[in-house]
Structure 1
């Protein structure tokens, strides 16, 4: 069986991806600073991925490499670490003739086209983080266009999952404590969320389908088009509590950023909440026939797993 390697195996996506890859191969290499087995036959490879030589060793022998690492949500960290890592991974994949699957987000898209994001949405990042993502995507696609690399980009909307999710941190956890759910700017706009297990399953499907390479794919995301208010009501209904809500305006987020680093970092992304944010994954659905999890089932699953 062919070896498939996950770079950044300890995160939420990496853990779910390892489970899904076991449907395709028993040769799975998990790479992170402190990797832990997900499947009994997993190969554990401890590496500092900021070291290009360790990246090279981690990639060696792989048929497919999945880059799913998540860096600290900090612009300066992204600007320094992402280009260095992408260059190291691309170089190693070319050297060892490995296919690359890059797990991406939608930060690079033109903010004027968020109402129906597809793989063809114009690239015009207006945030510093978005410019970093655009740079990495361009690095990969440029190598693909010249025929030097076989790769694909798998893009996700914001996550709905048990870890590092706005919905969980600001909606579910607050409602569960009897507090008001928090939302940004307005609750009247649509906001798509990709369920992490769906994203992992689809990434594994793409990585094991030769025809999927050398293009961009949006990962399966519900087309229910719920607004912020409807997401809050959905969690409240499942928790059997009132959907109490506190909307955080821009000025308040700016103030909170003075003493909460994460809010300072998030401020440049607030445009995603003042307009409809609709992530269209119909290309994947048409190609593979896989339906995304409904918001209702995703919320039920998160609550059950959190008990």
Structure 2
């Protein structure tokens, strides 16, 4: 049995499909889980409830924690430590290996132009502090076999909450200008969700991958925000019009739009090049990430 905690969403759904290559017993756990393969075991649960998590993990060989919480620092501080403790305790009790899908928020500002698995952990944001604490909880847990599968910002088919979707694709669909944070001339890396799902499944089924941090496969192409906007506009057959969302504008808009207030503290990821290096994974598994020339049209067409 392989179990996905937080089975819906950008990675949970394609991950369920990828796991069919390794097992015919897949358990999908969420508040309201939905079938992916047609024969998945659906297990409704609240991950902040220890008893629910214990029952959800029981009988599992590998557990994938891919849940996405509301993008709100108060929710993160309240729920993430509880969820992680519940999952660690259940995995240790039931002797299940744990794969945690993570992001890059815990890395120091100085690491953003070239992030690797050995990048310094010194988060400059409140959300990053939460993520750093989860990183340490996981790797220091006694009796636990675990790994961290880390990703850059997402893009891909069906992705609703990715920055490219929200700030570019959806705005063009509305007939509006796209927008980019701070500086559209900086390089920004994006991880293609089908690659991330495939990589997560590979890691979960590779025993010697545990005990390590892995960057999920991500194209090494160096495109700027402006170039992403132009490519998406060309694919959607619209003019590549956009404006820059400054920190001042974020502060002003954030007074009325909560999500903008939440992203302001992460804006440092856009005032410099943001390059995510997945060469460790690519070399270990002989994996070639999807190019943007392939991924962007697939994302637009979804």
- TM-score relative to the length of structure 2: 0.98
Task: Compare 96-105 and 32-41 and name the one that shifted more.
Answer: 32-41
Match of residue 164, structure 2, among 145, 164, 167: 167
Match of residue 22, structure 2, among 24, 27, 35: 24
CA distance in structure 2 between the aligned counterparts of 1:170 and 1:214, rounded to whole angstroms: 36
- Whether 1:237 aligns to 2:234 is yes
Q: Residue 73 of structure 1: SS of its match in structure 2? A: coil
1:210-225 equivalent positions in 2, closer than 5 A: 210-225=207-222
Other-structure match for 2:182: 185
- How far is the alpha carbon of 1:131 from its aligned partner? 0.3
- How far is the alpha carbon of 1:186 from its aligned partner? 0.8
CA distance in structure 2 between the aligned counterparts of 1:35 and 1:142, rounded to whole angstroms: 30
Q: Residue 301 of structure 2: SS of its match in structure 1? A: helix
Q: Residue 44 of structure 1: SS of its match in structure 2? A: strand
- How far is the alpha carbon of 1:211 from its aligned partner? 1.2
Match of residue 278, structure 1, among 261, 275, 279: 275
CA distance in structure 1 between the aligned counterparts of 2:13 and 2:280, rounded to whole angstroms: 25
1:60-209 equivalent positions in 2, closer than 5 A: 60-143=58-141, 146=142, 148-161=143-156, 162-209=159-206
CA distance in structure 1 between the aligned counterparts of 2:82 and 2:6, rounded to whole angstroms: 15
CA distance in structure 2 between the aligned counterparts of 1:72 and 1:62, rounded to whole angstroms: 27
- How far is the alpha carbon of 1:197 from its aligned partner? 1.0
CA distance in structure 2 between the aligned counterparts of 1:44 and 1:177, rounded to whole angstroms: 36
CA distance in structure 2 between the aligned counterparts of 1:85 and 1:239, rounded to whole angstroms: 40
CA distance in structure 2 between the aligned counterparts of 1:113 and 1:282, rounded to whole angstroms: 16
Q: Residue 3 of structure 2: SS of its match in structure 1? A: strand
Structure 2 residue runs without a partner (length 5+): none
- TM-score relative to the length of structure 1: 0.96
CA distance in structure 2 between the aligned counterparts of 1:304 and 1:264, rounded to whole angstroms: 30
Q: How many residues end up aligned between the 2 structures?
A: 300
- How far is the alpha carbon of 1:178 from its aligned partner? 2.6
CA distance in structure 1 between the aligned counterparts of 2:180 and 2:144, rounded to whole angstroms: 41
RMSD (CA atoms)? 0.8
Greater than 6 Å deviation, 4+ residue runs:
none
- How far is the alpha carbon of 1:174 from its aligned partner? 1.5
Q: Residue 22 of structure 1: SS of its match in structure 2? A: helix
Q: How big is each residue's C-alpha offset from its partner over 1:223-278, in whole Å with a ceiling of 9 and x where there is no partner?
A: 11111001001101112222101111110011000000000111100000000000
Other-structure match for 2:8: 10
- Whether 1:298 aligns to 2:295 is yes
Match of residue 266, structure 2, among 253, 266, 269: 269
Structure 1 residue runs without a partner (length 5+): none
